[in-house]
Amino acid sequence: MGENTNVTAALAVVDEDYYTLRPDGSLVTQSTAAFAIAETLERLDVRPGARVLEVGTGSGFSGALLSELVGPTGRVVSVDVVAELGERARELHTSQGRTNIDLFTGDGALGAPGYGEFDRIVAWTTPRLLPEAWVEQAVPGAVVLTPVELAPSVRTAAILRARVDSGRGVEGLDLVAGRYVEMHAEELGQWSVPPRGVDARVGEEGRELWVSALWAERDGAAAGRMLKVLVECGTTRTRVLEPEESAVDLVAYLYARYPEDLSVLGLGGPDWGEGHADENGAAVFTAANDGCVVHGGSPRVFERIQGWVNEWRGAGRPGYADLRPVLTRVDGGWRVRAEFEGDSGS
Ligand SMILES: C[S@@+](CC[C@H](N)C(=O)[O-])C[C@H]1O[C@@H](n2cnc3c(N)ncnc32)[C@H](O)[C@@H]1O
């Protein structure tokens, strides 16, 4: 990614701690790391004078950077579902004399009705589909940057860059690894279990195992029984990738090849992973990207993962750089799936 001096300059001007720390020194839970914001803003290519919609105000830090990027002739409209965050960010922006940002509370999936049209839309929270409202509120040529799910299971997300065309259609440009909290309708009291898309869960609060998968959606009782087996019999951690191999790339391969066969599993607490599961067991790469698979129950599930690894190696270990997004119009927006460059159809 080329260096964008505007983003570097904005980062030099905006004080991160001023936005992300509360008066007692604690971090605003919803803050995004500065490096991740910088990467996203570089891909977004915000020009002076632009009108930008931000979905997910959080600490207000990314909004302040956007306010710098659009300058005095541009405008930022930022929405968060949590009213307290918007109010806090408004006070902070006002104290800094930032007058080119509007903040409001609402469901960002609806965009910002009544605020006009946007040249750029950026989301820091993950929708299941690319929402219809965003495309309707974008000018032709506008760029939308958002995490979005690439398979039917929750958390199977990557960050999509797309361009709105003159007929209010939308063209997928590229995908990079990354995701943010799933879009939700109310303030969250916990972060371990996704607020949507979970088909079965067992265990006590804070240490729950959960699963999201097409098969589990069809048979939640069987999914619950499988999770209980994992709790009772435990899981094993086995290294399956070489140190130079990336589970992030392997999972990107699986998004493109086997989106419907992927299962996502919560492992009790914040740990979770993507891989394969059925009513007899589970085997997942954890979010740690350490090349290990956590597995339990039937060994056949683990063997399926090993089969996928061998297939991925045989294909030359493709990853995000080899993927392109494919958007399909569905009710409420655009479903996003990944495909390999050069693949035909699908
Ligand atoms: C990762 S944080 C954003 C952090 C922000 N970029 C910053 O610089 O601090 C994601 C935010 O999205 C918000 N959010 C989640 N679901 C939403 C929804 N449906 N509409 C609007 N905001 C939402 C959360 O409340 C949270 O503040």
* 301 and 155 together in one domain: no
* Atom of ligand 1 at shortest range from CA of 85: 27
Residue 307 resides in a domain: yes
108: domain CATH number is: 3.40.50.150
- Is residue 192 situated within a structural domain? no
Q: What is the pLDDT of residues 243-289, one digit of tens each?
A: 999 999 999 999 999 999 999 999 998 889 999 999 999 999 998 88
**pLDDT for the residue 19:** 97
Residues 38 and 124 reside in one and the same domain: yes
* Any ligand 1 atom below 6 A from CB of 61: yes
Which of 31, 44, 124 is the best mutation target for the ligand 1 pocket, counting ligand atoms within 8 Å of the beta carbon and taking the most? 124
Each residue's pLDDT expressed in tens, for the chain with a length of 346 residues: 445 579 999 999 999 999 999 999 999 988 989 999 999 999 999 999 999 999 999 999 999 999 999 999 999 999 999 999 999 999 999 999 999 999 999 999 999 999 999 999 999 999 999 999 999 999 999 999 999 999 999 999 999 999 999 888 999 999 999 999 999 987 777 778 999 999 999 998 878 999 999 999 999 999 999 999 999 999 999 999 999 999 999 999 999 999 999 999 999 988 899 999 999 999 999 988 889 999 999 999 999 999 999 999 999 999 999 999 999 999 999 999 999 876 754 4
Nearest-CA residue for atom 27 of ligand 1: 58
Residue 71 CA, ligand 1 centroid: distance in Å? 23
- Cβ distance 209 to 266 under 8 Å? yes
For residues 168 and 270, membership in a common domain is answered with no
Q: Is 134 in the pocket of ligand 1 (CB under 6 A)?
A: no
Identity of the amino acid at 255: Y
In a domain, 43, yes or no: yes
Ligand 1 touching residue 79 (CB < 6 A): yes
Please check whether residues 16 and 144 belong to one and the same domain: yes
Is 236 part of a structural domain of the chain? yes
Question: Does residue 187 sit within a domain?
Answer: no
Q: What distance in angstroms lies between residue 55's CA and the mean position of ligand 1's atoms?
A: 6
Query: Does 55 map to a domain?
Result: yes
Kindly state whether residues 39 and 148 are assigned to the same domain: yes
Kindly state whether residues 28 and 125 are assigned to the same domain: yes
Give the pLDDT score at 42: 95
Same domain flag for 170 and 214? no
167 and 213 within one domain: no
Predicted local distance difference test score (pLDDT) of residue 206: 78
One domain, residues 30 and 85: yes
With helix as H, strand as E and coil as C, how does the chain read?
CCCCHHHHHHHHHCCHHHHHECCCCCECCCCCCHHHHHHHHHHHCCCCCCEEEEECCCCCHHHHHHHHHHCCCCEEEEEECCHHHHHHHHHHHHHCCCCCEEEEECCHHHCCCCCCCEEEEEECCECCCEEHHHHHCEEEEEEEEEEEECCCCCCCEEEEEEEECCCCCEEEEEEEECCCCECCCCCCCCCCCCCCCCCEEECCCCCCEEEECHHHHHCHHHHHHHHHHHHHHCCEEEECCCCCCCHHHHHHHHHHHCHHHCEEEEECCCCEEEEEEECCEEEEEECCCCCEEEEEECHHHHHHHHHHHHHHHHCCCCCHHHEEEEEEEECCEEEEEEEECCCCCC
Looking at the 3D structure of the chain, how many domains does it have? 2
Which whole-number Å values give the CA distances from 161 to 44, 62, 95, 235, in the listed order? 8, 18, 33, 37
Same domain, 26 and 119: yes
Q: Using an 8 Å Cβ cutoff, are 50 and 119 in contact?
A: yes
Q: Decide if 106 is inside a domain.
A: yes
**One domain, residues 172 and 205:** no
Range of the domain at 145: 5-176
Q: Is residue 29 part of a domain?
A: yes
215 and 117 assigned to the same domain = no
Ligand 1 centroid to residue 30 C-alpha, Å = 7
Q: Is 80 in the pocket of ligand 1 (CB under 6 A)?
A: yes
Q: Is 135 in the pocket of ligand 1 (CB under 6 A)?
A: no
Ligand 1 pocket mutation, candidates 26, 57, 191, criterion most atoms within 8 A of CB: 57
